[in-house]
């Protein structure tokens, strides 16, 4: 079996290493470390898991498989995924073409049981919400959140257990000029039969031939300390999207460790390098959050902000992942383009990447597609404001 070198131990890289090892490949996994890497998008307390992708059936079907995988990992690796349900509320009525209406129809047709909600139901069941403003939406009992940093740590441990050779402190610098492999930041040549480049938000900076296909963007994340914790327990305050196509805001119930309520924004973001000195939440981003809280969650409008960070996405031009062989570089697979919605798919990312390494057919939307820059962003939840 081919020896595979995987560069990057975020969610793409570590799941690829595990799957390739389980398929019999000798695998070396390198990362600058420490792991979980403190600057990686996945190194956080939570990421959303959801079925809802509007009218997009391929993503909905992939999300179904991913949730099955999270439940399996809960059994095999310990509790990581919390099935709190998902609340999608909006300020105007549901209509064809909205995320909420299209998602309701799609997941219902596929055998799931989401509920339609009105203002009275929101007021009775989810009291932290301003039900006068958010009077329309759906609740899906499937979905919730994953403790993402903890998940990466357990996946790294699983990779080690399976026999993946893990080398922390090794930085990808460039590909070998002759043969297949890489040169590390320290100048070490590391040969392999195949290479997987899973570099996350570093992709457009580390791979100059792909600089036009990706951009790294920063998105604000806030951890708040609610004064009335009971209102933010999962049964009253599940994972939510608040008219997300227009506001960009989504968030989580009180975290099981520490009780903070995390709220973040899934919008255009700010272009930046992952190691930029500007990688911090701005005064304007904080002002916008407070404005959102005042109109949406009155109980949180004055809650102390106890932690902030900037989550770095690696955006493809269309919002789809990029998991494919490089036609100009034999033996090289690029696995990137998370576009801010990949972590939920962790249980299926490894098989998708391993299929690309082994030359098996993959999903066409994740193919090698340089120069394909559609006019419309194609991921259903992302606000483009």
* pLDDT at residue 223 greater than cutoff 80: yes
Question: Is it true that the peptide bond before 34 is cis, omega within 30 degrees of 0?
Answer: yes
pLDDT of residue 383: 82
For residues 153-172, give the mean pLDDT.
98
Q: What are phi and psi of 30, to 5 degrees?
A: -115, 150
Residue of 289, 166, 160, 168 lying closest to 223 (CA atoms): 289
* pLDDT at residue 77 greater than cutoff 90: yes
Residue of 280, 351, 312, 328 lying closest to 203 (CA atoms): 312
pLDDT of residue 284: 98
CATH of 83-142+215-314, one of 3.20.20.140, 3.40.50.300, 3.30.9.10, 3.40.50.1820: 3.30.9.10
Alpha-carbon dihedral sign for residues 155, 159, 162, 168? negative
pLDDT of residue 107: 98
pLDDT of residue 379: 92
pLDDT > 70 in the chain, percent: 100
Which pLDDT tens digit goes with each residue over 256-306? 998 999 999 999 999 999 999 999 999 999 999 999 999 999 999 999 999
pLDDT of residue 182: 98
pLDDT of residue 184: 98
Q: Is 183 exposed, middle or buried (0-12, 13-18, 19+ CB in 10 A)?
A: middle
pLDDT of residue 318: 96
For residues 110-117, give the mean pLDDT.
98
* pLDDT at residue 385 greater than cutoff 80: no
pLDDT of residue 294: 98
pLDDT of residue 314: 98
* pLDDT at residue 384 greater than cutoff 90: no
Domain ranges of the chain: 83-142+215-314
Give the model's confidence band at 372: pLDDT under 50 very low, under 70 low, under 90 confident, else very high: confident
pLDDT > 90 in the chain, percent: 96
Cβ atoms 332, 325 nearer than 8 A = yes
pLDDT of residue 42: 86
For residues 177-185, give the mean pLDDT.
97
pLDDT of residue 373: 85
């Amino acid at each position: 079996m081919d020896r595979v070198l995987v560069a990057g131990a975020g969610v793409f890289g570590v799941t690829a290493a595990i799957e390739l090892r389980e398929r019999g490949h000798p695998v070396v996994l390198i990362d600058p470390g420490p792991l979980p890497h403190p600057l990686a998008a996945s190194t956080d307390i939570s990421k959303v898991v959801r079925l809802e992708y509007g009218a997009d059936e391929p993503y909905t079907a992939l999300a179904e498989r991913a949730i099955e995988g999270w439940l399996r990992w809960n059994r095999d690796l310990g509790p990581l995924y919390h099935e709190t349900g998902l609340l999608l509320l909006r300020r105007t009525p549901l209509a064809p073409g909205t995320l909420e209406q299209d998602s309701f129809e799609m997941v219902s047709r596929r055998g799931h049981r989401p509920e339609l909600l009105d203002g009275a139901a929101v007021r009775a069941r989810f009291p932290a919400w301003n039900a006068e403003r958010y009077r329309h939406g759906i609740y899906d009992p499937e979905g919730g959140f994953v403790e993402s940093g903890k998940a990466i740590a357990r996946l790294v441990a699983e990779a080690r257990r399976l026999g993946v050779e893990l080398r922390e402190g090794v930085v990808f610098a460039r590909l070998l000029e002759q043969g297949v492999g890489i040169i590390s930041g320290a100048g070490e040549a590391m040969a392999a039969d195949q290479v997987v480049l899973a570099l996350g938000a570093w992709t457009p900076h580390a791979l100059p031939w792909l600089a036009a296909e990706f951009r790294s963007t920063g998105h604000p994340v806030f951890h708040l300390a609610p004064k009335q914790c009971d209102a933010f327990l999962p049964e009253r305050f599940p994972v939510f999207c608040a008219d997300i196509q227009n506001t960009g805001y989504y968030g989580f119930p009180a975290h099981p460790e520490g009780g903070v309520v995390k709220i973040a924004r899934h919008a255009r973001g700010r272009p930046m390098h992952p190691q930029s000195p500007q990688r911090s939440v701005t005064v304007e981003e904080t002002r916008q959050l407070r404005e959102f809280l005042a109109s949406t969650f009155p109980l949180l409008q004055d809650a102390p902000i106890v932690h902030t960070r900037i989550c770095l996405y690696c955006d493809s031009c269309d919002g789809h992942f990029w998991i494919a062989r490089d036609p100009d570089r034999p033996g090289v697979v690029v696995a990137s383009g998370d576009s801010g919605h990949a972590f939920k798919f962790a249980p299926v990312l490894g098989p998708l990447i391993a299929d690309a390494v082994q030359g098996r057919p993959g999903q066409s939307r994740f193919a090698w597609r340089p120069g394909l820059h559609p006019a419309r962003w194609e991921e259903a939840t992302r606000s483009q404001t």
